[in-house]
Amino acid sequence: MAPFARPSVGFATILAARIPNRTSQLCAASSSLNARLGRPNASLCAIRRLQTVSKASLLPPSAITRATLTDSSVEPSSSRSRKRPLCLTNRLTPRCIAVQTRRNFHTYFVTHLPSSSVHPDSRLSRGPGHKLPRDASTPHTPSPGSAPAVAPPYIPSTRDLTVVRIPMRRAKHHLGVATDRGRRPYNEDRDQAGTISLPAFAKRAPRSVQQKPGEATPADSALGDPQVFYFGVFDGHGGTQCAEFIREELPGYIENASKEFGLQSSLRKTKPGREHSQYRSPPKAPSIKDAPEPVQMKGPEEVKKSMPPTKPSAIVEKPVHGEPIHSAVSPPAEVTDHAKAIQLEKDLVKEYKDTIGGYFRRFYPEHFVLSKDGPKEDGDITIESVLTYAFLRADLDFVSAQAQKVDPDDSRVSDIPLNNDEILGVPHATPSGHGIGGNTRFKGGSTASIALISTPTAAPFWHPAAQSTLLCAHVGDSRILLCDTATGLAQPLTSDHHPSNPTETRRLRRYAPAGSMVSGDSFGEERIAGLANSRAFGDMKSKRIGVSAEPEITRVEMGPAQYSFLVLMSDGISGTLSDQEIVDVVKEARTPEEGARSVVAYATEVSSDGDNATCQVVRLGGWERRSEGGLGSLGTKELRDMRRTESLDPRRGKQ
């Protein structure tokens, strides 16, 4: 054996004494294989990381350490530096020790690159460029290692099948994202955007309009449906741990919930065995009857009656927010096993009852088919049921994980690894396999407002002729708005989950313990146990009195170019600006990216408290006509100019 082969074996031998038995066996096996292959320098047993945990993690001794085996000769440096925290469970699960599989959520979308007669595909090569007479031509004899003379048959001749990936945050004409910490020491807001592996939930379009002339044709998802887009804004309070957990893990919880429920595509129409034609018909020839009806714009006089009242003064004590639009009726979803889906709901509700108690002893989520008398007779599983399950599952896992950790503010348990009396339950493994939070207990929480967009055809949702279905799930006081193309008015999709909200007041009084600890502060605002939000992720100390993560879900069927854009924002914006001010600022921007930056800049300029501000602007089918309906962007221009002038007044005295 070569002298330099020894360190490879010695390295594996030394590590075998420091890592679990299974990992050491893999190490030794890889070293032996390395020596047999004559590759002494290329060690297959490169240990990415060794992490140790204290007794507080409740892991058995065999799981004290964790090692991930990778090939150091092929793994990129960026992957080696990526953190992989431990799973916080009371038992060793395969998810904790196995190499993690690739997640289905992506921060990009895929689309087909269309062919062009002006710029032909460079790969279009049918053969050599010369055209000699047959008797003057000679057969081509390739030399060893040379490329073939003609294009292989598996390479497409046009770009119709060329799929490209477009990062969401770089698509400035489709998505705009901006954030600012204001006058706070750090920014607790988080946001997310991408595509999620979820069966289509859009309303199936008639066969005659499934393919429009000149439609763009984005690539399908792995499920065969058009891609489902995911957008979200998360406003953390008390720290960033909960907001970061929801940003990274919530898409995975939604994907896992859809798989556990056996959710099927809403576009499924034909019988099993005809999968190749069940989603959409082949492209049709252009026809005038397929053109969508134009949006009927409304004039300024018609819209003025619907405009929210504005005060003549520029000082706005509290912004005016309209009532959210009514949710469309969601059709029953097709699931592979209806009984299993109901059992999943039962188990989760029971786990909440046994783990937390209090408010959750009489807890029956709105979109579950459960009631105090058992399953509803006419109850159907819907996509809303899946989202509710995912939200509640994620929140319970986060709270259970924090309950196992040491409370840094409690001197009684600061010197011991674990306080058994405070354990609420055992969290499930997260979809990504990563850990939950840090080493000490996190008592804060986070709001969450997400938007899912599904289309019934291959046309993307931002196409002017495309129909789509928008599904919003919301917890807390972050906010989601639509801009109506015909009127130019803001259409709220969410309501603020505050104790002063009549809906929240009825919910808390019906379920929570007496009084539910709702009281007013010195500014006249009602709070529950000191919290401004009556629904939130985390906030483990307030769970028993009704601070739930059950989402408020709104479904909107969007017609072709019916809406101009979608806005998601944290309360640093919605707590300062009215809904109409926000959409009017976006109307004046040239791109969604510029619109998001303008909203954040305006909010931080006129804000009196300097809260964190985060905004997402999503382009929809009516973007090009966003300023044509109603008063355009002039409806609140005078008010905005007055507020900007007022913000520059040195006597204003921002607090």
Out of 279-293, 422-436, 452-466, 562-576, the most confident range is 562-576
At 277, which amino acid appears? Answer: S
Please say if the pLDDT value at position 617 is more than 90: yes
Please say if the pLDDT value at position 499 is more than 90: no
- Neighbour tally for 273: CB within 10 Å: 7
Provide the token pair at 550: 């059950």
pLDDT given at position 583: 96
Q: Which residues face 175 on adjacent strands?
A: 618
Determine the Cα–Cα distance for residues 561 and 558; give it in Å rounded to an integer. Answer: 8
Please say if the pLDDT value at position 429 is more than 60: yes
Domains of the chain with bracketed CATH: 3-97 (no CATH), 170-202+220-266+302-322+338-405+442-647 (3.60.40.10)
At 596, which amino acid appears? Answer: A
Pick the range with the lowest mean pLDDT from 74-88, 167-181, 187-201, 388-402. 74-88
Sequence-distant (≥ 6) Cβ neighbours of residue 191 within 8 angstroms: 177, 179, 232, 233, 234, 247, 568, 614, 616
Identify whether the C-beta of residue 173 lies closer than 8 Å to the C-beta of residue 236: no
Out of 311-320, 371-380, 551-560, the most confident range is 551-560
Which strand (E) or helix (H) includes residue 458?
Answer: none
Identify whether the C-beta of residue 458 lies closer than 8 Å to the C-beta of residue 211: yes
pLDDT given at position 24: 47
Span 506-518, average pLDDT: 67
pLDDT given at position 59: 41
Query: Nearest-CA neighbor of 298 among 488, 481, 483, 482?
Result: 488
Helical H segments across 457-523, by residue range: 502-511
Query: By CB neighbour count within 10 A (0-12 exposed, 13-18 middle, 19+ buried), where does 181 fall?
Result: middle
Pick the range with the lowest mean pLDDT from 155-164, 220-229, 562-571. 155-164
Q: Tell me how far CA of residue 301 lies from CA of 304, 491, 635, in angstroms.
A: 5, 19, 12
Please say if the pLDDT value at position 461 is more than 70: yes
Determine the Cα–Cα distance for residues 534 and 495; give it in Å rounded to an integer. Answer: 12
Q: Tell me how far CA of residue 360 lies from CA of 392, 499, 507, in angstroms.
A: 12, 18, 12
pLDDT given at position 349: 93
E-strand ranges in 413-517 read 445-446, 448-454, 468-475, 479-484, 490-492
pLDDT given at position 206: 60
Span 305-312, average pLDDT: 66
pLDDT, tens digit, 9 for 90 and up, residues 170-185: 999 999 999 999 889 9
Output the CA angle 466-468-473, nearest 5 degrees: 155
Place of tokens 């699931």: 335
Provide the token pair at 509: 């009084």
pLDDT given at position 533: 87
Determine the Cα–Cα distance for residues 43 and 7; give it in Å rounded to an integer. Answer: 10
φ, ψ dihedrals at 511, nearest 5°: -105, -40
Identify whether the C-beta of residue 610 lies closer than 8 Å to the C-beta of residue 603: no
Provide the token pair at 530: 């000191």
pLDDT given at position 15: 34
3-state SS of 202-270 is: CCCCCHHHCCCCCCCCCCECCCCCECEEEEEEEEEECCCHHHHHHHHHHHHHHHHHHHHHCECCCCCCC
Out of 31-45, 230-244, 262-276, 629-643, the most confident range is 230-244
Identify whether the C-beta of residue 251 lies closer than 8 Å to the C-beta of residue 228: no
Q: Which residues face 191 on adjacent strands?
A: 233
Determine the Cα–Cα distance for residues 283 and 160; give it in Å rounded to an integer. Answer: 13
Determine the Cα–Cα distance for residues 570 and 243; give it in Å rounded to an integer. Answer: 12
pLDDT given at position 291: 44
pLDDT given at position 457: 84
Predicted confidence band at 479 (pLDDT cuts at 50, 70, 90)? very high
Please say if the pLDDT value at position 25 is more than 60: no
Sequence-distant (≥ 6) Cβ neighbours of residue 29 within 8 angstroms: none
pLDDT given at position 322: 78
Provide the token pair at 554: 């709104």
**Global confidence as pTM:** 0.74
Helical H segments across 422-540, by residue range: 502-511
pLDDT given at position 376: 67
Pick the range with the lowest mean pLDDT from 86-90, 379-383, 404-408, 416-420. 86-90
Q: Which position has the higher pLDDT, 569 or 150?
A: 569
pLDDT, tens digit, 9 for 90 and up, residues 376-404: 656 789 999 999 999 999 999 999 999 88
DSSP for 280-346, written as a single string? -PPPPPP-GGGSPPPP----HHHHHTTSPP--SSS--SS---PPPPPPPPPPPPPBS-HHHHHHHHH
Average pLDDT over the chain, rounded to whole?
Answer: 74
pLDDT given at position 316: 56
Pick the range with the lowest mean pLDDT from 107-111, 173-177, 285-289, 519-523. 285-289
Please say if the pLDDT value at position 54 is more than 50: no
Predicted confidence band at 568 (pLDDT cuts at 50, 70, 90)? very high
pLDDT given at position 271: 46
E-strand ranges in 154-202 read 163-167, 175-180, 189-196
Long-range contacts of 642-648 (CB under 8 A, 24+ apart): 642/313, 642/314, 643/314, 643/316, 643/606, 644/602, 644/605, 644/606, 645/314, 646/314, 646/315, 646/606, 647/605, 647/606
Long-range contacts of 384-388 (CB under 8 A, 24+ apart): 384/330, 384/471, 384/553, 384/555, 385/261, 385/333, 385/341, 385/345, 386/254, 386/257, 386/258, 386/261, 386/263, 386/333, 387/254, 387/257, 387/471, 387/473, 387/551, 387/553, 388/550, 388/551, 388/553
Determine the Cα–Cα distance for residues 566 and 176; give it in Å rounded to an integer. Answer: 10
Q: At what angle do helices 338-355 and 241-261 cross, to 10 degrees?
A: 150
Please say if the pLDDT value at position 480 is more than 60: yes
Please say if the pLDDT value at position 94 is more than 50: no
Span 568-577, average pLDDT: 94
Determine the Cα–Cα distance for residues 413 and 407; give it in Å rounded to an integer. Answer: 7
Determine the Cα–Cα distance for residues 274 and 276; give it in Å rounded to an integer. Answer: 6
**What percentage of the chain reaches a pLDDT higher than 90?**
37
Determine the Cα–Cα distance for residues 235 and 424; give it in Å rounded to an integer. Answer: 25
pLDDT given at position 424: 53
pLDDT given at position 508: 82
Query: Nearest-CA neighbor of 227 among 457, 386, 432?
Result: 457
Cα 407 off chain centre by: 30
Pick the range with the lowest mean pLDDT from 100-104, 222-226, 556-560. 100-104
Helical H segments across 55-115, by residue range: 77-80, 94-97
pLDDT given at position 313: 55
- Neighbour tally for 356: CB within 10 Å: 21
Provide the token pair at 145: 């290692």
Q: Is 454 helix (H, G, I), strand (E, B) or coil?
A: strand
pLDDT, tens digit, 9 for 90 and up, residues 236-252: 999 999 999 999 999 99
- Neighbour tally for 172: CB within 10 Å: 15
Please say if the pLDDT value at position 352 is more than 50: yes
Residues in the chain, how many?
655
Q: Which position has the higher pLDDT, 428 or 448?
A: 448
